[in-house]
Structure 1
């Protein structure tokens, strides 16, 4: 008996098997078409980056950097590396390094896995997937509105309901500085209400204190100075310009003064699309403007705005509202007898695939009864039989397995050289 211990998958890193994987493929294909309709092009960045990219780009006092990143020291060159916890920092790093904005602004997107060491729960895993969309080099509220209108269209395409939009404005650095001073003074007056985490953040990242989920701190957070009340004329004009465009399109929204980002390079527009149908993890999509990040990471100053969608949460919602049918393995299943029949079936299958059909050839040499059970389980519309009689006559026997395609006859004989055309017309 083997002493090798069975290896289990890692906690929070999920296998995705058929037929669930087919739902992922359908969602990814729909998303690519949706983004192409707005002129967004795909960009791919490495999973591994230097850790310092994220400590600068996300912030050393954030939960992601402090608690959640998968980081390690590369023993070959003694460099500290991190598996990406989000896409934006890597995309901006690439845009700077490749001089991607040298001639014009860019609309780009990325899809793929990201990694955070957090407690697994519904819609949240340690390896999860994001759709990340970035508009680099665009300064105005028109592009902020475009991103939000894009998302409203995506919800319609997926047939989703009960997703609502929340907005806020973070203004500019000087306005945030004035608000920060007022907020710290307010928190110091209410220090007895703050939990340990809030006290730790009170001076380093006070905005995040307002994002607390602690019920005992809600009244204090609700009474805190609002950043929105510190906005100057230009910041208000940007917010009002965004709202006017959303009003033009009939997109409903609410102002949420507690919707914040705790880092200085975020400014002006921030938004989230949220739902009550995913338990505690109600945010489906979060985005905003980060005009200071490109310069912070060493590039020429340039505005930028974007958003990220958690694909697991989006798929969860999609399957709740409009479960897609389970996809079939194939359209045509080839059943055969003897070595010559198997070889002829393999050649026929290639011709059927040339015609655009999805085809399986039964593997191995089992009896017809077993092969037909497998053909039926595959979801095939037709079984094509290649046995001794068919090889002699030069015609395959087609047995229709699904009544919607069979017409008047359940079984017919079709010449080998006409098989592809005939099946293509009927399927």
Structure 2
């Protein structure tokens, strides 16, 4: 059974248990009954009930409207009837005025997709972030020929769970269609090479703390100065010299608020020494479940946006904004790390992490600050998703969700750079309830 068939079964009560023979026999029985009975006009009571149900769907999300479960039941009832198009239209109408639950919008989108209205279905899924909704949105974008956006959407799914059924197959197929080199999507923390860093390290290595496509990071000790530091070893010693030098020089050039400090470097041996951040990255915090460190959101999201604004004003694009590259010196002091693929504005960009690369960059656009704004929105989305999973409610969650949606949404509505992003951010502190 396909994934979408399962989703339709859950939302609309469809079953795969009936065989084709049984379905045909049922159709014959209904046809015989229809010939035997005289045609009847719909009873006035039935018409009134249908009108009342459609009116309820137009109030989904309103305080006096139907619940999520009731709305899905009404859509299920309308599906396959002459009223299904109007039922879907009423949900879209409600979404203009109210916060319609995502499960209801997904049910509506599924109806529209089945009717061949891909654009209408995408409208219903606007700003959706659940895995089933992202899968459907990816398929709809691919059907409309918007492969960069389809690929960017499926990478959001893979970044959340690389084993999502069908996601890797879509990723491989769409990358090939765009002319990218074939290859499986890797986990974001998966190393490509195991290094022998210990033999060349000028510091005492204590433990490995992170692995990525470019290198491995260790917690280390500078025994001479008696301090802890992060020791990053590139996988390809010598061959990654340009990458390493770019990371070290740009981090040093942009040193100041919001940028991690580089303490030492050896391009020949292929390593960097960086300041040690005990709390780790946003990804580490999410993995540990230490979500209290991320609320209120504006405590770290505002200074992170300011760091991007400073980088963009300096003429550079980070090009790899993701939870693993946002470190937390303190809960109110985020730091951008890993400038290895950063580029000057307008330069040709390469690399990036699946799930955090904008569709426009996937399509081949040169380095643009809006790509970092997209990554910023994805970081927000990941944090909000985990907070929602844990049932942590905040007064400002809806406002930050709206910011994430704008950052991830259509390019022409996205803030043009970090400075414009800062100007759009909510400033009131969120409160944990």
Q: Which structure is larger by alpha-carbon Rg, 1 or 2?
A: 1
Using CA pairs under 8 Å that are at least 6 residues apart, name the structure with larger relative contact order, 1 or 2: 1
Choose between structure 1 and 2: higher helix proportion. 2
Using structure 2 for the length normalisation, give the TM-score: 0.21
Give the strand-richer structure, 1 or 2.
1
